[in-house]
A = this chain, B = another copy of it.
């Protein structure tokens, strides 16, 4: 976009990286994928999986690669969206790195994680003492990722990215409860979900009850809607 012909300061370039905040749900709790950056680095420091952008690679491709190379996650059905770009000149002590952060969501069914130094942390531990210390400005990225996820559950069908192909309304409700951190009324949640056009479609199957018993639930699949009208507002 240069327009002036006068001799300018030499055109400089930046290192561009992608850092991915992957969220999933385990045991009813929202969890975040973190990795130990280097074995030689300080113990107890954790970071988001990140990779440098290659010359012929789109940003989305780099995000996928950061998950596959650093955590062995190749889930093709995972939701992936750009979050925000962090470019403060002093955000990385090793030099100027502009980082495009991504938000990734996977269903809670996929167990195969942790091929190396990756781990899933309960997001409740993050700010607390004893929790992982985050490197660089990754704590801020995580804060933004959580807020994005919480907000988009309200007005999009993003919650279905956390559940497998077939799910019950209780599964979906536990997603909202885990991400928002508040309990929801099962009956009202059900009324809201089924009355929102295109959110979920009922299948003819029924799920088997849990270990404690209880009435079997109907099985649903994702609907075609991406935006919810009206929105499901946080209590």
Mark A residues whose CB is within 8 Å of B.
1-3, 9, 11-17, 19, 37-38, 47, 50-59, 65, 68-69, 82, 84-85, 87-89, 96, 98, 100, 230-231, 233
Contacts and interface: CB of A to CB of B under 8 A. Distances in A.
Oligomer copy total: 2
B17 A1 contact: yes
A11 B230 CA distance: 48
Chain A interface SS verdict (over half) = loop
A230 to B, nearest CB: 7
A2 B52 contact: yes
B58 A87 contact: yes
B58 A1 contact: no
B15 A11 contact: yes
Contacts of A56: 89
Nearest to A62: B87
A1 B14 CA distance: 14
A50 B100 CA distance: 19
A51 B1 contact: yes
Contacts of A100: 85, 87, 98
A64 B10 CA distance: 21
Contact of A14 (B13, B47, B51): B13
Given A13-B16, A16-B16, A55-B96, A84 B87 contact: no
A138 B137 CA distance: 30
Contacts of A230: 233
Given A53-B87, A58-B87, A89-B55, A47 B16 contact: no
A35 to B, nearest CB: 9
A11 B52 contact: yes
Contact of A50 (B1, B51, B58): B1
Contacts of A2: 52
A109 to B, nearest CB: 23
A176 to B, nearest CB: 18
A100 B69 CA distance: 26
